[in-house]
Structure 1
């Protein structure tokens, strides 16, 4: 274990900002259907390899940009090199606004504001970094200059100073494996809440990629991030077994408490996408004070696929066509049967529905979370590749028994335009829990896709991420800090009682 003040790390990989979110670019390799360009964990641009796509499939996906090696005292560079690694960290502008600088795609940086705005930074002439909107590549007029030696920057005409935090890197035992983690504490001696960031299904290093580890610390929250088993600097084999991952999260919380000592106050988890299944399960194993779920689900992975297909059809204009919806559900039934068999049988049934509906006007709109893959590949490819891609995934996992058994305060932040994890049935189930007296608050950001990213729609139908919704970060921080939630955060209304849940 080592401790350092304010830290930054270099990453040549695409950036993300929070657990479980997607990044711009295709997350469905070999799919013939339109893909979204959006951030992924947390995050954003990248075409995923199949295993990550299937992870996402079964709802994975925070986002959070990288952090690592601290800017060392005595650095003599006044401007960052092309990689910009010395500039990575959290800042406070002279007007009081927080600003995070994280790694972007290779050779770039990414800035994030707590109101959800973000931009990619590319080094231009004379040491200035030029910004473009979200992941669009379109100039937004912002310019940033860094003075790494003194921990300063200038965002347009506003100066800013790096915020000092306390960072403690560690290696700890998970469930039979050694995991790599990091605690980032706000400076000072006072007690602060602690949040542990729980991965989605991504394969990336959270230590390198999660910007929330800095952003939460800048807001007065101790934050623990770790590379889940089989990723980054952690040992073990990658898995999507929710119980194993939940036990690892409990070990991570124990380690964070140990490192934080007397400074740690209330504790809880924040999990995005697949982390929305894992975090509540971890709470059921070892109670905490709160849990935040971002763009997660209260349905099973197979139910998620069916909801995503229904969402696809409604979005394509076939929502009021009973024949189209029935045909799409017949396809979903066939792909579910194939998965249930461990890809041993069901190929004839899949071939039959493909032949029956291939010429239907709605067929090209069927995507779902894994149905797209089974429709887009031949039987030999599926037999060869698919079993390894979904190994360990509990496709029928029902989160409701866990959620019904929790009395821990929960916050669910969902995207109204989420194509990977449509929120409809999840909201209905959460409302039922609220009416039963469970301490659940929910908020829907109507224009956000998976990862809670707003987007533009390009001429080819692809979604290109622009920002996160105004109010999303403030909603999470208020909840973690134990504040009374406001009625609205940006465009999202908060439902925190049985009254708004229809009770």
Structure 2
């Protein structure tokens, strides 16, 4: 063999040896696998595909509320085949194994639709044969609920979870609605199906409702045989009250005077009459207020849920298209959530975001205190410096907020309540005085 080819062959062999022994480049690291990692007595990491994260990256959600992308150079999660490494503290780390689950798809006939749901059961030698069962109840979002990362957070803690796509969303049929009565019927039907599917494998069952689910879950519980209800960042007021409290909070932030505050209360009363009539009456009072405040500044700044927009719409347009714009989801505007809670005789957990702009907390905390004084079993936890969704945030000089994480302690509190073993404290949360 010519010397040239011998030298070339030797170079190739040496290059292959170097490549085979060199550290793997970051791009060659194991690709993360979607799923849940951890155990009831460990941290939990949920990895899932996110539209905003390019492949092969995944989104992560941790039991302590942190979330982000696995592609982040300074993220807390790195992947191996069938496990993840979670950074803990300054230099620590823990290996979390991938959990296995049994997933059972179920179709649920309800009034005017067929809902599609999924029972998510943790499996494995370390999983008790009998576990708590929880049905997750939607907020007002229109995204599918099946495959929800929060469901996997609970399941990895040893809880059987039933999720279902709300009518008109995801795989479920029917039309999207925010009618609490109909949604409560749907949730009760989901619970009945979940209890049959998990028969003999659960020891207690109940609902976890978030946001608008805080209206629906307790109402569904009055129509089910359940052991508990957990609510996150929900209200014990009506949608009309929510709108008024949002406007008053906005007014306080803007440092409006007593005269302006009185006019805002008058605006709430005027719009309440219109929405409660489903846009059949009450327009004159709003038009009078519209004319009286035409030269004032606050009508251009105050929003609420709907009153600000109704005030800024002309009387003619409000008559013409107001119902189509503001009352097209069958909302029960004067819904009496206090009466619903009074009808319950099961343990209740209510978790509150202290600085919630969407669901102002003052009236809800007061109502829950009265509920407790009436002898009801209710645990109330408030997480400071959190907004709707239990998000911690950074507030800009203009008042806008950027969410940074779900507050630590929220997910663990909910999981502990579902399993019947609250043993806080839960990080920075506090319990309002009786």
Which has the larger displacement, 416-425 or 358-367?
Answer: 358-367
2:72 to 98, 110, 130: 130
Give SS of 2:186's match: helix
Task: Give the equivalent residue in structure 1 for 2:136.
Answer: 197
2:225 to 282, 287, 298: 287
Give CA deviations for 1:301-320 in whole Å, capped at 9, x if unaligned.
101111111111122233xx
Give SS of 2:75's match: strand
Alignment of 1:403-422 (within 5 A): 403-422=341-360
How far 1:159 sits from its partner (Å)?
A: 4.3
Task: Give the equivalent residue in structure 2 for 1:89.
Answer: 35
Alignment of 1:474-493 (within 5 A): 474-486=412-424, 488-493=425-430
Task: Give the equivalent residue in structure 2 for 1:152.
Answer: 83
Q: Looking at CA atoms only, which structure, 1 or 2, has the larger radius of gyration? A: 2
Instruction: Return the TM-score normalized by structure 2.
Output: 0.83
Give CA deviations for 1:86-115 in whole Å, capped at 9, x if unaligned.
72211129x942111133333353212212
Task: Give the equivalent residue in structure 1 for 2:264.
Answer: 328
| C-alpha RMSD of the superposition | 2.5
User: Which structure exhibits the higher relative contact order, with contacts defined as CA atoms closer than 8 Å and separated by 6 or more residues?
Assistant: 1
Task: Give the equivalent residue in structure 1 for 2:166.
Answer: 228
Alignment of 1:393-412 (within 5 A): 393-412=331-350
CA distance in 2, matches of 1:87, 1:246: 36
CA distance in 2, matches of 1:393, 1:315: 28
CA distance in 2, matches of 1:309, 1:229: 31
1:340 aligns with 2:276: yes
Task: Give the equivalent residue in structure 1 for 2:204.
Answer: 266
**Does the CA-based 8 Å contact 1:287-1:408 persist in structure 2?**
no
1:116 aligns with 2:65: yes
Instruction: Return the TM-score normalized by structure 1.
Output: 0.73
CA distance in 2, matches of 1:206, 1:376: 35
**Does the CA-based 8 Å contact 2:306-2:326 persist in structure 1?**
no
**Does the CA-based 8 Å contact 2:391-2:405 persist in structure 1?**
yes
Which has the larger displacement, 199-208 or 360-369?
Answer: 360-369
1:445 to 371, 383, 392: 383
How far 1:261 sits from its partner (Å)?
A: 2.3
CA distance in 2, matches of 1:358, 1:464: 33
1:366 to 294, 299, 302: 302
2:122 to 176, 186, 189: 186
Q: Does the C-alpha gap of structure 1 residues 356 and 179 become closer, same or farther in structure 2, counting only changes over 3 Å?
A: same
How far 1:142 sits from its partner (Å)?
A: 1.4
**Does the CA-based 8 Å contact 1:130-1:142 persist in structure 2?**
yes
2:431 to 494, 497, 503: 494
1:107 to 44, 53, 59: 53
2:113 to 174, 177, 202: 177
Number of matched pairs: 393
